[in-house]
């Protein structure tokens, strides 16, 4: 084999090694970029989910508070009705007691 052929083969091997090294470097960089983009997307999704969760909690608390207030008003109304009914029956009970005492 001639010296020129050996030199050409050596140069070709060196170029191939350089091309492989360059491709490996590029692949590593692409992988790192993809991981960074994935982390950024994940962080954005987490932030969005946390924001939505906080909003849902607030709405739920507001709704629960409104429902509790409404229930409180209903209970107060029922309590007033029961007091009125009890007051009317109290007068009847007092009249019954007086009648029994007088008749005995």
pLDDT at 60: 97
Place of tokens 């083969």: 9
Q: What are the tens digits of pLDDT across the range 40-94?
A: 999 999 999 999 999 999 999 999 999 999 999 999 999 999 999 888 888 888 8
pLDDT at 93: 87
pLDDT at 102: 85
Residue count (the chain): 104
pLDDT at 11: 85
Full-model pTM: 0.55
pLDDT at 95: 85
Name residues whose C-beta falls within 8 Å of residue 79's C-beta, 6 or more positions apart in sequence.
Answer: none
Per-domain residue ranges of the chain? 1-74
Task: Burial-class residue 50 by CB neighbours within 10 Å (0-12, 13-18, 19+).
Answer: exposed
């Amino acid at each position: 084999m001639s010296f020129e052929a050996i030199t050409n083969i050596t140069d070709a091997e060196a170029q191939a090694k350089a091309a492989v090294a360059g491709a490996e470097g590029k692949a590593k960089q692409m992988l790192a970029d993809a991981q960074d983009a994935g982390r950024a997307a994940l962080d954005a999704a987490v932030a969005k989910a946390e924001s939505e969760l906080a909003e849902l909690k607030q709405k739920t608390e507001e709704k629960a508070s409104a429902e509790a207030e409404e229930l409180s008003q209903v209970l107060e109304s029922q309590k007033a009705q029961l007091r009125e009914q009890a007051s009317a029956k109290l007068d009847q009970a007092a009249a019954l007691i007086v009648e029994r005492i007088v008749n005995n």
